[in-house]
């Protein structure tokens, strides 16, 4: 799991300050992912304790608690990206971790579902630590190491997502849901301090008047269609991956027929993709640097489509966990490949804006996916969501094929 990270930290060809910054941002992404997954798989169960909602209402509130965060991200990310290219990505990481410290803590104090929705909207408007940390490292890393670094940055988030449901499930079962939010808020405060004192960014502030307009930068790109395709791919991937996230605990509860330790089993099922991703993420990152990220991306899309289909037929939480484990292997080839394509295809002066646009598509995908999953499960059943996500992966494959074929012909 940590081999790729340790190789980066121990690499004598990379400056000591780079290695220190990489390790700090990796840890920051890990703790951010840990915070997210400690609380979000149980958000529906937490909301359920606030009021005796019906099934449709509960699914809707759970979906909204996810969706509004990503709606806010989609709206404001380009503004933060523009500021990142002027002031640097470190400031953006501090902004995100600082605000998340207070909003996550405050969720543990609420007594109404709509208050959670409001706080999640504020959190979304100021969030983006992982994306900005990734852009931070992209700007500090040689292109011939981009694939490996992007993959290793992903393992930070994935490792956090892997451990979070297990830690959160145990903590929620022992101390309650509210205490879990208090602990997560405190952890984000630690991330803020680590980023403030332990990272160094080689960045020269650019006055707003001297910044090239995005329209001009985009006009200079060789493969505009490829960049647009990557944005749409991010939208589709995130929609598919987030479609089950708001209701995973409710699906597990239905598969367990309401008996047993639903919180803990939900945590295990939510964590399973992380195991699969960690097994292959570093290897796929190295592979990307050898054969190119597009081929790795196609592999991931095909694998995800094939894995989503059997989930429709699951009858136990353990069979669901098995297929989600395989989904994690496919997931390791998806967003890191997209980020690597963007890293090697755009000038460094536009990293902040390009990555923020990609974050907007990622947020929009998460918003659409979470609402789609909530609505489909409310109208039909939980498993029906997986048929729609498989169809999304098939559409994405068609898009990549249409864009990739002209590029191959040019070569």
Q: Which domains does the chain have, with CATH numbers?
A: 16-201+211-410 (1.20.1250.20)
Q: To 5 degrees, how large is the angle CA 357–CA 360–CA 363?
A: 155
DSSP secondary structure letters along 275-334: HHHHHHHHHHHHHHHHH-HHHHHHHHHHHHHHHHHHHTT--SHHHHHHHHHHHHHHHTTT
Alpha helices in 88-223 (DSSP H): 89-107, 113-126, 129-140, 146-175, 177-198, 214-220
- Strand, helix or coil at 244? coil
pLDDT at 55: 74
pLDDT at 405: 62
C-alpha to C-alpha distance for 185 and 187, rounded to whole angstroms: 5
pLDDT at 251: 86
Per-residue pLDDT tens digits for 132-154: 898 888 777 776 676 677 778 87
Burial class (CB in 10 A: 0-12, 13-18, 19+), 270: buried
Tokens standing for 1? 């799991």
pLDDT at 11: 56
- Residue 397 · residue 302 · CB < 8 Å: yes
Q: Which residues contact 99 (CB under 8 A, 6 or more apart)?
A: 122, 123, 126, 127
Q: Which residues of the chain fall short of a pLDDT of 70?
A: 1-15, 41, 143-144, 146-147, 206, 208-210, 258, 404-411
Tokens standing for 240? 């598919």
Whether this prediction's pTM lies above 0.75 is answered by no
| Number of residues that make up the chain | 411
pLDDT at 10: 47
């Amino acid at each position: 799991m940590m081999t790729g990270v340790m190789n980066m930290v121990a690499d004598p060809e990379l400056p000591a300050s780079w290695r220190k910054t990489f390790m700090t941002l990796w840890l920051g992404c890990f703790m951010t992912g840990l915070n997210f997954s400690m609380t979000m798989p149980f958000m529906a169960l937490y909301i359920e304790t606030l009021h005796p909602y019906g099934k449709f209402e509960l699914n809707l509130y759970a979906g909204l608690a996810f969706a509004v965060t990503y709606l806010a991200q989609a709206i404001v990310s380009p503004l933060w990206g523009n500021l990142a290219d002027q002031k640097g990505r470190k400031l953006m990481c501090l902004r995100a971790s600082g605000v998340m410290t207070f909003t996550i803590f405050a969720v543990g104090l609420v007594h109404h579902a709509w208050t959670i929705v409001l706080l999640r909207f504020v959190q979304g408007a100021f969030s983006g630590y992982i994306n900005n940390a990734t852009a931070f490292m992209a700007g500090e890393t040689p292109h011939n190491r981009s694939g490996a670094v992007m993959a290793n940055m992903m393992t930070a988030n994935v490792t956090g997502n892997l451990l979070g449901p297990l830690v959160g499930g145990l903590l929620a079962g022992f101390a309650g849901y509210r205490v879990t939010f208090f602990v997560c808020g405190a952890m984000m405060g630690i991330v803020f301090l680590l980023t403030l004192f332990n990272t160094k960014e080689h960045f020269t502030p650019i006055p707003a008047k001297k910044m090239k307009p995005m329209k001009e930068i985009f006009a200079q790109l060789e493969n505009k269609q490829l960049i647009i395709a990557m944005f749409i791919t991010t939208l589709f991937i995130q929609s598919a991956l987030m479609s089950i996230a708001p209701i995973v605990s409710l699906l597990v509860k239905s598969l367990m027929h309401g008996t047993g330790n639903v919180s803990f089993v939900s945590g295990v099922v939510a964590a399973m993709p992380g195991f699969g991703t960690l097994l292959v993420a570093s290897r796929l990152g190295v592979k990307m640097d050898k054969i190119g990220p597009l081929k790795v991306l196609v592999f991931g899309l095909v694998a995800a489509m094939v894995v989503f289909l059997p989930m429709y037929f699951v009858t136990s939480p353990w069979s669901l966990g098995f297929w989600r484990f395989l989904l994690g292997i496919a997931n390791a080839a998806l967003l890191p490949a997209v980020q690597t394509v963007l890293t090697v295809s755009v000038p460094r002066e536009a990293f902040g804006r390009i990555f923020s646009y990609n974050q907007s598509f990622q947020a929009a995908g998460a918003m659409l996916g979470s609402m789609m999953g909530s609505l489909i499960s409310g109208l039909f059943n939980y498993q029906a969501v997986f048929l729609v996500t498989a169809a999304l992966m098939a559409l994405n494959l068609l898009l990549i094929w249409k864009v990739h074929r002209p590029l191959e012909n040019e070569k």
